[in-house]
Amino acid sequence: MNNINDLLQIAVDRQASDLHAVFGLKPMLRVDGQLAPLEEAEVLTDESLTNIVKTMLSADQRTKLDQEKDLDLGYAFNSNRFRVNFSFEKDHYKMVARVIRQVAPTMEEIGLPPVVYKLLSHQQGLILVTGPTGCGKSTTLAAMINYLNENYRYNIITFEDPIEYIFAPKQSIITQRQLGFDMNTFASGLKHVVRQDPNVIMVGEMRDLETISAAITLAETGHLVLATLHTCNAAQTIDRIIDVFPPYQQAQIKSQLTSVLSAVISQKLLPKVGGGRIVAREIMVRNPAIANLIREQKIQQIKNVIETGYNEGMITMSRHVKELYSQNLISKETAESELDELAMI
């Protein structure tokens, strides 16, 4: 039983976050952050992996995968949607499929605090959601878009690779553009988006200098921009943005960030007492002290401002971990392990 649609349906039914298909192993499900083999399935062979490729990819996509050796795409069946990556491992096909919920979550469901609602009431600025792969960044962005769609009459344009949650327009117009189909690169799409009369722009991932530069410029020119980065905290996020630019541009970028960066929301998923996972977050909101530290390149002092900015809606990751433990949402072992890790950053 290695029919890919059957395997994907099992992943949905068992509330897995991911399905892994690797040569020589049984299909693996990631449930609550842990990988385990699907015991009733058969060990994957070249033939079964090739059948998966033929089922999920068009002829053009198969050619592209064979040429470029990596391919990202969206896949749907039976109203289920998946974010899929194909690659090669020792000259064998390999696949990982991320399960996407059918309905975008609400901000209440994922526990976003009041300060995020306030941030989304602003019509201009750059809000960054950061964290490692698989920490729920896309889900957080989707919840924000869902909230804006339900409460504001906006023109919302998203740039995604691939499109994950499908949004039905409510109060807003929502246009979802997919890399490789609706645009050649994020940077090229962002270059022309200002002509499309947007209020809100969502960038699935700021991957390179051109995309980061375009996102900052759009926030500076009167748009609300939501985007993600693979960084673990606010200080690292700001350093990453500044360092991606050549030295002669860094003073300008620091100046721009002091005016357009609204907030950095860094998050990770922790094992929840009773099963499942829960989000722990660090939230930095730009205020005059944060802006001054960015301007003076004293980025490592930002954590101190976050610690003293609790009344402004800011919170450090360590404080949130302690709050989750005090609410009996995570175990003592999880809290101690996470706090030890944070101490080393």
Q: What is the mean pLDDT of the chain?
A: 95
Whether residues 158 and 287 fall in one domain: yes
Structural domain count, the chain: 2
107, part of any domain: no
217, part of any domain: yes
Largest CA distance in the chain: 60
Distance between CA atoms of residues 48 and 81, nearest Å = 21
Question: Could you list the residue range(s) of the whole structural domain that residue 324 is in?
Answer: 114-343
Predicted local confidence at residue 53, as pLDDT: 96
Whether residues 173 and 303 fall in one domain: yes
Predicted local confidence at residue 1, as pLDDT: 61
Give me the sign of the Cα torsion angle 60, 63, 64, 65: positive
Q: For residue 2, is pLDDT > 80?
A: no
pLDDT tens digits, residue range 270-299? 999 999 999 999 999 999 999 999 999 999
Q: Is 299 helix (H, G, I), strand (E, B) or coil?
A: helix
pLDDT tens digits, residue range 225-253? 999 999 999 999 999 999 999 999 999 99
What band does 204 get if pLDDT is binned at 50, 70 and 90?
very high
CB atoms within 10 A of CB 147: 18
Which ranges of 28-104 does DSSP label H, i.e. alpha helix?
46-56, 59-68
Tokens 């602003």: give the residue. Answer: 122
Q: Report, as an integer, the average pLDDT of 62-88.
A: 93
In sequence order, the 6+-apart residues with CB closer than 8 A to the CB of 149 are 156, 167, 169, 170, 171, 172, 174
> Cis ω on the peptide bond leading into residue 162 (within 30° of 0)?
yes
Q: Is 76 helix (H, G, I), strand (E, B) or coil?
A: strand
Tokens of 234: 């606010």
Find the CATH number of the domain harbouring 155: 3.40.50.300
- In DSSP notation, 202-216 reads EES---SHHHHHHHH
pLDDT tens digits, residue range 50-61? 999 999 999 999
Whether residues 301 and 189 fall in one domain: yes
Read off the amino acid at residue 183: M
Whether residues 238 and 284 fall in one domain: yes
139, part of any domain: yes
Q: For residue 77, is pLDDT > 90?
A: no
Predicted local confidence at residue 162, as pLDDT: 86
105, part of any domain: no
Whether residues 218 and 150 fall in one domain: yes
Q: For residue 311, is pLDDT > 80?
A: yes
Whether residues 151 and 48 fall in one domain: no
pLDDT tens digits, residue range 16-37? 999 999 999 999 999 998 999 9
Q: Are 263 and 291 in contact (CB under 8 A)?
A: no
- In DSSP notation, 241-283 reads HHHTS-HHHHHHHHHHHHHHEEEEEEEEEEEPTTSSEEEEEEE
Whether residues 125 and 274 fall in one domain: yes
pLDDT tens digits, residue range 109-160? 999 999 999 999 999 999 999 999 889 999 999 999 999 999 999 999 999 9
